[in-house]
Amino acid sequence: MKKQILLLAPLLFLVLNTFGQVKPKTTKPSAARTAATNEMKIFSVLDYGALGDGNHDDTEAFQAAINACKQAKGTLLIPAANVYYKIKNTLRIVPEPGQNEVYMDIEAHGDPRYQIVYSGPDDKAIFYIKGLRFARISGVKVRVESGIKNLQVFDLDTDSPSYSTSHITFKDCHATLGNGVNSVGWRMGHVSGGGADISNLQWENCSVWGNHGSVVSGQIGWLIEGPNTLQNTWIGGFGAYLDKLFSNVSRAGASGTGNGAVYFYGLGSSHNNVEYEINNSQSYVISGGRYETGKRFMTVTNSNDAPSIMISGIEINDFDPQDDILFYIDRPCSIILQNVNILKSNRAAAYNSSMITCYGGGEGTGKGTLIVDGGSFEASDPFYRINLNATEWNVFIRGVGRLAGNVRSNFMSTISTGKTTTSDNVDIYVSPNIYVSPNGTKFRITVNDAGEVISTRIP
């Protein structure tokens, strides 16, 4: 008998656990749990009435949890929803009256498609952030319902009563913009008042998706509009089906022009119209990452100031710009491409001399520099156009491989500048492969199989 009971015990355990389980329900947590989490300074949106059932408007519950979290300088917790949290208006993370800073973190969990869904009016920010400092925002994922336009998923700003919005890390956050025009994943500095800065922001493995399958006009992953928005960094991450991945061209109603001093490491993209739109004279670093199936890699807008742009170790694959221009440079800037691979992939023909098109403001008051060092291109020789107006460009090419059928078959031979200069201490390049030293001696430039530049005196 004892042996039979022992044999039946596992079966009895299975039956009890199969038919006796109580499925979890979305209910308000107990007072004991609420007190425990408050003591730890963790403020769950469920404790303030959020249901996450996809029907109930959870906006007020989220805002109440945010307000309590701000006062305690704690962590806002967004647990995974049973369906999703419906948000229908702006959630404000701003200083309390009489204060000018906010200190809090956010930790969120759940499916990127069904964590937070915005279904409110047009022309809103979903998270409006002002005066937040030294914060970490992790795992927040927002989807905008179809037909809603002019949205900012995260809108970071400052004004006169507030201090800087700075030292914020976004980690594993995601925005899906839907099919509404002019919506933005992250917007920085639209008002940007009071002289405070929006700086030392960092994105780690964050992403923005536009309208999957068809790019919608004006959708931007990251948009900088503030004059004091600078020293910001991206590490990893992705953007797809966007009109622009990154831009610092201010829109109507902004208080100034967007700053630069931005640094991208390992960012990638797919199916965007423009990856980088630059409208400022500061520094830009784009290092590592794969960009595919787009139309244009970079547009530098018209002006006479001179940004410094460093692009290194990236791959540009399967782009097909209608005008053959991958890089449109209309500022007399310094731009360096170092160990960059550009492959035409499914494109019918190799890129031609329009691939890098350099203007430079048009007034002729600046000097532009294009340096291409190493890497491999499926392109013609030359692969750039310069001196299309009064601005003078110097071009230096070293060890750039020419690809044919993905084979690095030879080297680009063009090592020149398109316009003669009159310096007393530098050599003067007067045509492809030939330069004249300051004392008038002519030399011919060649590149050996090792990529070394060889100069031979011309008698």
Averaging pLDDT over each range in 78-87, 357-366, 373-382, which range is the top one? 78-87
**Closest among 434, 413, 436 to 426, alpha carbons compared:** 436
- What distance in Å separates the CA atoms of residue 401 and residue 408, rounded to the nearest whole number? 6
pLDDT digits (tens, 9 = 90+) for 190-236: 887 666 889 999 999 999 999 999 999 999 999 999 888 889 999 99
Cα-Cα-Cα-Cα dihedral sign, residues 101, 206, 222, 143: negative
Q: Is residue 6 part of a domain?
A: no
Instruction: Kindly state the average pLDDT of the residues 26-42.
Output: 59
Mean pLDDT of the chain: 83
258, 280 Cβ separation under 8 angstroms: yes
- What distance in Å separates the CA atoms of residue 173 and residue 208, rounded to the nearest whole number? 9
> How, if at all, do strands 274-278 and 238-240 pair?
unpaired
With residue 229 as reference, give the H or E element that holds it: strand 229-230
Q: Is residue 310 part of a domain?
A: yes
Q: What is the pLDDT, as a whole number, of residue 281?
A: 81
- Cβ neighbourhood burial of 10 (10 Å; 0-12, 13-18, 19+): exposed
- What the block records as the tokens of 43 is 């403020």
3-state helix, strand, coil split of the chain in percent (to 5) is 10, 40, 50
Q: Is residue 427 part of a domain?
A: yes
Q: What is the CATH number of the domain that holds 248?
A: 2.160.20
Q: Is residue 255 part of a domain?
A: yes
Q: Is residue 65 part of a domain?
A: no
Instruction: Kindly state the average pLDDT of the residues 149-171.
Output: 90
CB neighbour burial string for 421-452, b if at least 16 within 10 angstroms, e if fewer: eeeeeeebbeebebbbeeeeeebebebeeeee
Transcribe 144-171 into DSSP letters: EPTT--S-EEEEEE--TTS--EEEEEEE
> How, if at all, do strands 407-411 and 184-188 pair?
unpaired
Transcribe 251-319 into DSSP letters: PTT-SS-----EEEES-EEES-SEEEEE-SSSEEEEES-EEES-SEEEEE-S-SS--EEEEES-EEES-
Q: Model confidence at 424, in pLDDT bands (50, 70, 90)?
A: very low
Q: What is the pLDDT, as a whole number, of residue 444?
A: 57
- What distance in Å separates the CA atoms of residue 126 and residue 153, rounded to the nearest whole number? 5
Q: What is the pLDDT, as a whole number, of residue 227?
A: 81
pLDDT digits (tens, 9 = 90+) for 97-150: 888 899 999 999 998 778 999 999 999 999 999 999 999 999 999 999 999 999
Q: Is residue 84 part of a domain?
A: yes
pLDDT digits (tens, 9 = 90+) for 233-272: 999 999 999 999 999 998 888 877 788 889 999 999 999 9
Give me the number of domains the chain comprises. Answer: 1
Give me the domain span that covers residue 327. 79-433
**Closest among 149, 152, 148, 298 to 225, alpha carbons compared:** 152
Q: Is residue 283 part of a domain?
A: yes
pTM: 0.83
Q: Which residues contact 80 (CB under 8 A, 6 or more apart)?
A: 52, 109, 110, 111, 115
Q: Is residue 96 part of a domain?
A: yes
Q: What is the pLDDT, as a whole number, of residue 410?
A: 79
**Closest among 357, 336, 244, 320 to 283, alpha carbons compared:** 336
